[in-house]
């Protein structure tokens, strides 16, 4: 009887796992209405909902920025927002889509960031990604990238897949960064439940050329439009249940979902993106951390070696192009990739294959 019970338990466990994997193949990535998943965080009338309730405009003016937060905290998941950024002079403006638990753990919070950094007129927006675990803000793992499209013309999707073993950042479905959890990271890997945030705010102190160019409110209001809000995760209340079958199915479902799995085709697309658009990485910064290399940094994982970067982590290969000026020869140099193909791809053309 004992053996029969054991067999039944094993078979039942594998059946549950198989059911989770099958469900993951059809994981629902449909956007949610704003009020179904989020609530306003700050900003008053600087947060404007669309008439159909499926998108939100966040504005920054001289009075305040604005933002919203998810109704639930999540213990891993897939989170996405399509964002259209303001045009013109946007120096100092920061538009952020991120996960955080700073309200619950102010001294040892976790964070996973997409920060979109404004610029002077004619200069492109830049994207910065970062992670923190257990308040490890003194060990920032920033990376910065140029975008292969003009993010002010139409919405583009920025997404995070966060599982117990890895974090993948996506732009328009193409992975641009993978942080794989390794034992030596310890508490630096985000592991506590987090809420999902979106904000626009004044980052004059650092966002553009280290704070050289500030927000100029003569150009306000600055408006960022958020749509396509995808919230697919394991709610923290359920994740803390300890051994519940529903919790296990949720975790397995997320870990086997397409967006959480780095296939060879996706890895190749990520390497192409990084070769063409990565401008800074803490993994190659030998000055900031006195030669220390973070344990998760893979020396050859993206096909870029130490010789491709300056000692302070800036790329030698990717130059900052001008947008809307600079002459034909300058634009041609900026558009020429190292492998002979264009490095500026049409809007919406990012693909993993």
| DSSP helix, strand, coil percent of the chain (3-state; round to 5) | 25, 30, 40
Q: How many CB atoms lie within 10 A of CB 183?
A: 7
Q: Is 115 one of the catalytic residues? A: yes
Residue of 104, 115, 142, 143 with catalytic role: 115
Q: Tell me the β-bridge partners of 130.
A: 113
CA 75/CA 255 separation, integer angstroms: 12
Report whether the peptide linkage leading into residue 285 is cis, meaning its omega lies within 30 degrees of zero: no
Give how far Cα 39 sits from Cα of 94, 104, 186, 273, Å: 20, 17, 33, 34
Closest by CA to 203, choosing from 57, 70, 60, 88, is: 60
With 0-12 CB in 10 A as exposed, 13-18 as middle and 19+ as buried, what is 53? exposed
SS3 for 159? strand
CA atoms within 13 A on the CB side of 53: 8
Q: Is 142 one of the catalytic residues? A: no
- The total number of residues shown for the chain amounts to 353
Give how far Cα 264 sits from Cα of 175, 199, 270, Å: 12, 34, 10
| Dihedral (Cα; 117, 93, 108, 103), 10-degree rounding | -130
Q: For tokens 């051994």, what's the residue? A: 243
> In this structure, are residues 280 and 313 in contact, taking their beta carbons and an 8 Å threshold?
yes
Residue of 111, 178, 251, 296 with catalytic role: 111
- Which positions are annotated as active-site residues? 111, 115
């Amino acid at each position: 009887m004992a053996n029969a019970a054991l067999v039944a338990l094993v078979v039942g466990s594998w059946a549950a796992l198989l059911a989770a994997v099958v469900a993951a193949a059809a994981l629902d990535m449909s956007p949610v209405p704003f009020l179904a998943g989020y609530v306003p965080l700050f900003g008053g009338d600087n947060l404007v909902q669309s008439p159909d309730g499926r998108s939100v405009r966040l504005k920054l003016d001289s009075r305040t920025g604005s933002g919203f937060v998810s109704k639930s905290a999540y213990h891993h998941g897939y989170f996405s927002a399509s964002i259209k950024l303001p045009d013109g002079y946007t120096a100092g403006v920061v538009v952020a889509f991120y996960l955080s638990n700073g309200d619950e753990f102010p001294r040892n919070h976790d964070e996973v960031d997409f920060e979109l950094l404004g610029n002077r007129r004619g200069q492109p927006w830049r994207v910065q990604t970062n992670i923190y675990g257990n308040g490890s803000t003194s060990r920032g793992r920033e990376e910065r990238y140029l975008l292969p499209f003009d993010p002010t013309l139409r919405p583009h999707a920025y997404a995070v897949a966060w599982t117990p073993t890895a974090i993948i950042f996506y732009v328009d479905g193409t992975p641009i960064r993978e942080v794989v959890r390794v034992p030596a990271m310890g508490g630096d890997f985000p592991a506590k439940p987090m809420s999902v945030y979106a904000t626009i705010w004044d980052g004059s102190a650092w966002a553009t050329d280290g704070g050289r160019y500030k927000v100029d409110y003569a150009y306000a209001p600055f408006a960022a439009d958020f749509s396509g809000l995808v919230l697919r995760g394991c709610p923290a209340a359920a994740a803390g249940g300890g051994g519940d079958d529903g919790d296990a199915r949720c975790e397995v479902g997320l870990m086997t979902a397409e967006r959480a799995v780095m296939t060879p085709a996706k890895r190749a697309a990520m390497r192409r993106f990084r070769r063409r658009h990565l401008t800074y990485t803490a993994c190659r910064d030998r000055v900031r951390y006195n030669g220390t290399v973070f344990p998760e940094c893979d020396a050859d994982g993206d096909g870029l070696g130490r010789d491709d970067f300056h000692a302070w982590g800036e790329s030698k290969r990717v130059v900052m192009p001008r947008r809307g000026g600079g002459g034909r020869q300058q634009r041609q140099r900026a558009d020429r990739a190292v492998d002979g193909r264009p490095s500026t791809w049409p809007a919406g053309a990012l693909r993993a294959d």
